[in-house]
């Protein structure tokens, strides 16, 4: 795929077909993640790959399996959202937080080595490890798109993080920033992205 096509075609996918993702594809995707820039030159990131359905279910079991339409409405009302395209995205995504990870062919858990307390940073540079991890995650998303595959991500809640550390036997100095689901996109899914006017986002010389 051409680079600009990859950029244009990347989007979040939360419904997957039950088709295998090959280990060659997974390796190419992770290789792209490892090649991202890292703050201290050391690329202190790791990845756990899980393909076995029962193991995936065990790892994601703290996520609510579904949310009733009433609960979704309650959550959305509390956020006071106004943008129609954004509202549609959340109406689709809130109930799919479990199924998108369960139905994807691969559950990928990225990790980075954490030397600072990223929840109480004293300066922006305390977040460098976290920022490097997200550079890597974006490479993963683009490489996934380049394989004609789809992906979804979820930020774990506190109770999920505690459980993930235990069930995945994570060393104390590593942090899991998100779950990533990778699989073949369900063609019926079509969540519109918010369109922004390019000209409105650029400022020359000052704001």
Ligand X SMILES: Cc1cc2nc3c(=O)[nH]c(=O)nc-3n(C[C@H](O)[C@H](O)[C@H](O)COP(=O)(O)O)c2cc1C
Site residues (vs ligand X, CB under 6 A): 11-12, 89, 93, 152-155, 193
Interatomic CA distance for residues 87 and 91, integer angstroms? 6
Comparing C-alpha atoms, which of 181, 198, 197, 177 is closest to residue 189? 181
Smallest gap from residue 96 Cβ to ligand X (A): 7
Nearer to ligand X, 30 or 104 (CB): 104
Which of residues 21 and 100 has its CB atom nearest to ligand X in the complex? 100
Using CA atoms, how far apart are residues 207 and 204, in angstroms rounded to an integer? 7
In angstroms, what is the minimal distance from the CB of 201 to ligand X? 15
Q: Which residue has its beta carbon closest to ligand X?
A: 11
CA distance 166 to 63: 15
> At its nearest, how many Å lie between ligand X and the CB of residue 24?
25
Give whichever of 32 and 153 is closer to ligand X, judged by the CB atom.
153
Instruction: Supply the minimum distance, in Å, between the C-beta of residue 193 and ligand X.
Output: 5
CA distance linking residue 104 with residue 15, whole number of Å? 8
- Bridge-based pairing of strands 174-175 and 45-50 is unpaired
The tokens 């419904």 sit on which residue?
A: 15
Q: Which is nearer to ligand X, 11 or 17 (CB)?
A: 11
């Amino acid at each position: 795929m051409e680079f600009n096509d990859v950029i244009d075609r990347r989007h979040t996918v939360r419904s997957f077909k039950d088709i295998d993702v090959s280990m060659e594809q997974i390796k190419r995707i992770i290789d792209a993640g490892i090649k991202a820039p890292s703050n201290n030159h050391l690329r202190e990131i790791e990845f756990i790959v899980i393909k076995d359905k029962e193991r995936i279910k065990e790892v994601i079991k703290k996520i609510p399996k579904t949310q009733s339409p009433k609960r979704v409405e309650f959550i959305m009302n509390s956020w006071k959202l106004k943008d129609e395209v954004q509202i549609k995205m959340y109406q689709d995504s809130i109930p799919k937080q479990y199924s998108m990870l369960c139905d994807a062919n691969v559950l990928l858990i990225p990790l980075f080595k954490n030397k600072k307390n990223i929840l109480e940073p004293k300066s922006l540079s305390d977040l460098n490890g976290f920022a490097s991890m997200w550079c890597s995650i974006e490479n993963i998303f683009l490489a996934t798109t380049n394989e004609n595959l789809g992906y979804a991500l979820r930020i774990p809640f506190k109770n999920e993080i505690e459980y993930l550390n235990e069930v995945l036997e994570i060393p104390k100095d590593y942090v899991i920033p998100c779950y990533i689901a990778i699989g073949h996109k369900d063609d019926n899914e079509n969540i519109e992205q918010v369109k922004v006017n390019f000209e409105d986002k650029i400022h020359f010389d000052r704001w």
